[in-house]
Amino acid sequence: MFDPACGSGVFLKEVLRQLSLKNYQGKVRLEGWDISPAAIDMARFILLYEKDQISSKFSIDVEICHRDSLDRTHQWSNDVDIILMNPPFLSWNHMNKKQRELVKESLGDLMQKTPDLSSVFLWKGVKSISSKGVIACILPTSILDAQSHLKIRESILAQIDLYLVGKLGNDLLFSNAEIYTTILVAQSPKNNKFALSLWADHKLESSSAVLRALRRYNYYGRDPFNVVDQNGFSIYENPSLNDNLISWSPRSYKAFNLLRQLEKFSKVKDIFKIRQGVLTGFKAAFLLSKETIEALPKKERKFFRPAIVTESISNSHLLDVSYVFYPNSKDLPKIDSENDLDKYVEAYYQTYLLPNKSKLISRSRKSENTWWTLNEYRAWQVDRKPKLVSTCFGKAGSFAWDGSGDYVAVQGYAWFLKKSNIFSEKLGLAYTAILSCPFINNLLASVSNHVGRGQLDLSIRYIENMPIPDLTASNLDLDTLESLYKIGGLISSGEDFDDRALNELVLSLYQLQSNTISLLEL
């Protein structure tokens, strides 16, 4: 048994305890590596103590080494029975040059975009287990669905089978983790058995309950008809997990089942082209409140446009609470120098840009000639086109209709029709109504990840896979479209509307009965 990031040896110690409880009679070799000398000293002490306590029951060989597991001079064995690990998490953006080069070298052809350091440990571990080996690890959730790890997921499934993928939604379980974590267990050889999905919501009691349920589940043996579906947690066999490269992320059983019901339904990506908003690079200089804009000289205000930020959408009603410096708009004089800044936006330049010049110029790809520009202004936002907009994180009601096209997506996304350059108000408000219905939370839960406080990640990679009715279809009932349009108009204006009527309309479009699923149950 091998732990390439053993720390103080907690996992290896637990292995000995479990083997002792099961009255194991054979031999076991424990091997642990870690980059920290202090951790290695602790691991040696703890494991040697445990060995002395139980060595009479079975043969134990312990080897704990001070080693960098990713150093190319330290080769991992290719015949390990069990690998247990909690590898270091480090995002690409926080790696130094040496670490990035090491990741590129280790992943080779699997290198894609911006992988996490833990993905190298995972891939090396998969290659190291024996023909009947098992690997179990704690990983960042990005391993399960990020595009950066897609090739790694593909290569893993080509060699071994997933046995269990678990998500424990309470972050108190891993108090030192600054990002959401997941549990992954895989085994060799490939036998095409279905993997288990294990899911628990954010409540601490749910995580405890699902682990107790898992012990009972394993005690009685795997059974495809044995589904644990309780309030706050689920355990079930997922037939698609060992074939799915897009996402391994566990969902509640209700969310999983709902998505299966709608698997042949049109998806957001079939109807919409979703675009990511502006990257400012330094919000304090580029994003100003409405009150601040109104205090600027009138001639300078035209260089700003209302921005889509978290506070800009409330129950699908647009609020112009924030403005972004956007001199890229048409019919504005060009700003190519600091002299131009002083000429056209003197007050803004002197108050917000110039005091932050050193920070602005230190951004990547900025120079003395471009330091006052946005990191990414998104050329498609120059023209004012009608669009649906959303925040980065949210739920039903975090989508709105921008009929004027005046808003610039910053902390959010813009939705355009894929097959037409004309996005009519009727269609836009009808979709606004659909995306305001509480039932949408159930669909969001089936394709996206919770990020806390009831919010879901509305990133393109998640939202594009959500089932949604095609309101452009030739066979659509026009009365339904008209009703949605009217409700969407009320929602967009911040007026009261008949939420029960909206719910019935939306469920009928999804071809679901009104009692199929209770709202907000997921």
Domains belonging to the chain, first-starting first, are 68-250 (3.40.50.150), 272-509 (no CATH)
Average pLDDT over residues 45-63: 91
If you search the block for the tokens 């996206």, which residue do you land on? 448
Dihedral sign (CA 34, 35, 41, 42): negative
pLDDT attached to residue 449: 87
**pLDDT of 520 strictly over 50:** no
Are 184 and 139 within 8 A, CB to CB? yes
Q: Residue 519: which pLDDT band, with cuts at 50, 70 and 90?
A: very low
If you search the block for the tokens 């891939």, which residue do you land on? 123
pLDDT tens for each residue of 445-455: 999 988 877 79
pLDDT tens for each residue of 362-400: 998 899 999 999 999 999 999 999 999 999 999 999 999
If you search the block for the tokens 């305890």, which residue do you land on? 17
pLDDT tens for each residue of 448-483: 988 877 799 999 999 999 999 999 999 999 999 999
- pTM for this one? 0.87
pLDDT attached to residue 521: 46
Q: Which residue has the higher pLDDT, 255 or 177?
A: 255
**Length of the chain, in residues:** 522
User: Taking the CB of residue 490, how many other CB atoms lie within 10 A of it?
Assistant: 17
- What is the DSSP code string of 243-286? T-SS------HHHHHHHHHTTTS-BHHHHEEEEE--B-S-HHHH
Which helix (H) or strand (E) is 367 found in, with range? none
pLDDT attached to residue 204: 85
Average pLDDT over residues 195-219: 91
Q: Write the CA distances from 269 to 44, 417, 508, integer angstroms.
A: 53, 10, 21
Q: Residue 522: which pLDDT band, with cuts at 50, 70 and 90?
A: very low
**pLDDT of 54 strictly over 90:** no
**pLDDT of 175 strictly over 90:** no
Are 349 and 316 within 8 A, CB to CB? no
Q: Write the CA distances from 400 to 278, 387, 396, 414, 493, integer angstroms.
A: 18, 9, 10, 10, 10
pLDDT attached to residue 48: 94
pLDDT attached to residue 462: 93
- What is the DSSP code string of 313-330? EETTEE---EEEE-TTST
**pLDDT of 422 strictly over 60:** yes
CA atoms within 13 A on the CB side of 475: 2
How many Å apart are CA 501 and CA 291, to the nearest integer? 38
User: Taking the CB of residue 184, how many other CB atoms lie within 10 A of it?
Assistant: 20
Closest CA to 165 of 248, 88, 256, 246: 248
Strand order in the sheet with 287-289: 287-289, 322-325, 304-308, 408-409
How large is the greatest C-alpha to C-alpha distance in the chain, in angstroms? 86
Name the DSSP letter for residue 169: -
Q: Residue 517: which pLDDT band, with cuts at 50, 70 and 90?
A: low
pLDDT tens for each residue of 392-414: 999 999 999 999 999 999 999 99
Q: Residue 168: which pLDDT band, with cuts at 50, 70 and 90?
A: confident
pLDDT attached to residue 91: 94
Q: Which residue has the higher pLDDT, 410 or 175?
A: 410
- Residue 401 pairs in a beta bridge with 388
Q: Write the CA distances from 39 to 63, 66, 463, 478, integer angstroms.
A: 14, 9, 42, 68
Mean residue pLDDT across the chain? 93
How many Å apart are CA 188 and CA 225, to the nearest integer? 24
pLDDT attached to residue 518: 46
> SS3 for 176?
coil
Q: Write the CA distances from 338 to 231, 362, 370, 376, 393, integer angstroms.
A: 60, 17, 9, 19, 36
pLDDT attached to residue 398: 98
- Cα torsion through 166, 168, 173, 175, rounded to 10: 100
Percent over 70 (pLDDT), the chain: 97
> Chain-centre distance of CA 416, in angstroms?
22
If you search the block for the tokens 């071994």, which residue do you land on? 160
How many Å apart are CA 341 and CA 117, to the nearest integer? 42
Q: Residue 432: which pLDDT band, with cuts at 50, 70 and 90?
A: very high
Q: Write the CA distances from 474 to 262, 383, 471, 481, 509, integer angstroms.
A: 20, 29, 8, 12, 14
Are 340 and 300 within 8 A, CB to CB? no
Q: Residue 171: which pLDDT band, with cuts at 50, 70 and 90?
A: low
How many Å apart are CA 465 and CA 470, to the nearest integer? 14
User: Taking the CB of residue 297, how many other CB atoms lie within 10 A of it?
Assistant: 10
> Chain-centre distance of CA 11, in angstroms?
27
Q: Which residue has the higher pLDDT, 512 or 428?
A: 428
Structure-block tokens of residue 477: 């009932």
Residues 6+ apart with CB under 8 A from 208: none
Q: Residue 516: which pLDDT band, with cuts at 50, 70 and 90?
A: low
